[in-house]
Amino acid sequence: MTTWTLESQRSAMFRWAQSSLGHEAAVRLSRKYGLSEEADDLVSITLEKITRSFARRSGPLPDVGNDDQATRYAYRAMANTAIDLARRKRQESRALISVARITTTQPGTDQTATSQVFIEELFSALHRVTASGFTCKACNDKVTYAAATEVLHLALLEGSDAAVGQSWLDDVIYSVVDRYEIGMSRSAAARRQRRSRCRRCVMELLQAALSAIGVRRG
């Protein structure tokens, strides 16, 4: 058993993650897993996960009683976070490709009709999923819905070109997030974290809408 309190454990983990060593570890993990998030974002997301995890505990972790043990725990949390983000990135790519493959890219009556049906179903599904109570704590629901709608508009216009890269996706989401920044911190770090969190929420909403269509079509 440890003699450290839960707060002592949390503080030690935060000190490491926010130190130069923690930042270097985040850089290595970001490169290893090909993350679009910057190292500072990985650190912030990791600390948020540790905070949420500790909030659910009623007592300290039994195996964390010194700085070395706290560092190992924080590093494992950061590595697991990087793996989760990499997995989510692959899921996002599949979701975008699903949209692009169904949308029309060549003129023609059949393609246009199919695309129009898909557009109506996808936007309808997006509305239903949102109305049914979809929420993502990392981002304001209004911002998430607005950004997801704009992403769909652009993906449907671009067709298969939308699957080529994700810079356009980031541009769309970030532009919406920035429009809702009134009253929020405008520091570079705060803006970066806000954009990263909202991006994850937008993709979760889009995937939920695509799943809803898949269930109905099945």
Rounded (10°) CA dihedral 104, 170, 200, 186 = -150
174-202 pLDDT, tens digit per residue, is: 888 888 876 666 677 777 778 888 888 88
User: Does 104 score more than 70 pLDDT?
Assistant: no
Fill in the amino acid letter for 204.
E
Instruction: Give the pLDDT of residue 186.
Output: 66
Backbone angles phi, psi at 135, to 5 degrees: -145, 150
Q: Which residue has better confidence, 8 or 38?
A: 8
Which CB contacts under 8 angstroms, 24+ apart, belong to 125-129?
Answer: 125/209, 125/210, 125/212, 125/213, 126/152, 126/205, 126/206, 126/209, 128/212, 129/205, 129/208, 129/209, 129/212
As a whole number, mean pLDDT of residues 24-37 equals 90
How high is the pLDDT of residue 215? 45
Kindly report the average pLDDT of the chain as a whole number: 80
Q: Which candidate, 52, 80, 57, 60, places its Cα nearest to that of 2? A: 60
| 66 and 14 Cβ atoms separated by less than 8 Å | no
What CA–CA distance (Å, rounded) separates 78 from 24? 12
Rounded to two decimals, the pTM is 0.58
Residue 74, pLDDT above cutoff 90: yes
The string of DSSP codes covering 150-215 is HHHHHHHHHGGGGGS-SHHHHHHHHHHHHHT-TTS--SHHHHHHHHHHHHHHHHHHHHHHHHHHHH
